[in-house]
Amino acid sequence: MNVTPTELYNQLYDAFGPQHWWPMDHSHHEQNNTDPRFEVMIGAILTQNTAWTNVEKAIKQLKEHNLLSIQALKDADNELVKTCIRSSGYFNQKAKRLQYLSNYLAEQYDEDLNLFFSKQTQSLRKELLGLHGIGPETADSILLYAAKKPVFVVDAYTKRLCKRIPLPVNADSYDDIQHYFEDELKKRYEDDELVQVYNEFHALIVNLGKYYCKPKPVCSQCSLVKKCDFARK
């Protein structure tokens, strides 16, 4: 049975509703005059190889130590940063990555995220991929959720979905999956709609993967059961 990305998006949206992703404490940033987009960048690095619940604990600790700004994180004691983010795993590596990013934004952009995000999407993506510890999924999460660029984020849940439905794409290739979803969704949505669609779609796929399309799936309760070859078999 052929199913398009648009059909998948609509069915998941009907099943789960809006996801309101990326979650953050806006009141904290208003009170401290800090940029919530930097919190998204922090979260995109912290969520590498761990569950979001662990990231939330780490961000809470960073918030309690007032380390959710570029300057504060750049100037923070490295051991304190490690302690704050310990729950996210690989905290030695991630602390180094966070402080490298903070230093980079301070030295190259004078901590001005408006200037950083003003670049063309592909130029900014290339720059992000050139930074220590930032791969395609992290870079694209920053582009979509912080910079509000129309970039479709691919993760392990997306690859699993592509294999199980299956979709006509190389399910092991990040680039192939990304291009497939973007090309198909651009046929249906206007440019000014794509950021929100990509945002919701990625969050919906994460929700599907966490609760239904797990390594040991719960097919009987999945809203895609009638469209999925894996479930039918």
CATH 3.80.30.20, domain 5-20+151-232, yes or no: no
Q: Confirm whether pTM is higher than 0.85.
A: yes
Q: What pLDDT was estimated at residue 99?
A: 98
Overall CATH class of domain 34-146: mainly alpha
- What confidence tens digit (pLDDT) does each residue in 130-163 have? 999 999 999 999 999 999 999 999 999 999 999 9
Average pLDDT over residues 16-25: 94
Dist. CA 224–CA 227, nearest whole Å: 5
Rounded mean pLDDT of 213-225?
95
Asked if 128 and 122 count as a contact pair (C-beta separation under 8 A), the reply is no
Q: Is the pLDDT of residue 1 over 90?
A: no
What pLDDT is stored for residue 92 in this prediction? 98
**Where in the chain is CATH 1.10.1670.10?**
5-20+151-232
In the chain, residues under CATH classification 1.10.340.30 are: 34-146
Which of 66, 15, 218 lies closest to 7 in space, CA to CA?
15
* Percentage of the chain lying above the pLDDT 70 cut: 100
Q: Which residues neighbour 136 within 8 Å (Cβ) at sequence distance 6 or greater? A: 129, 154, 174, 175
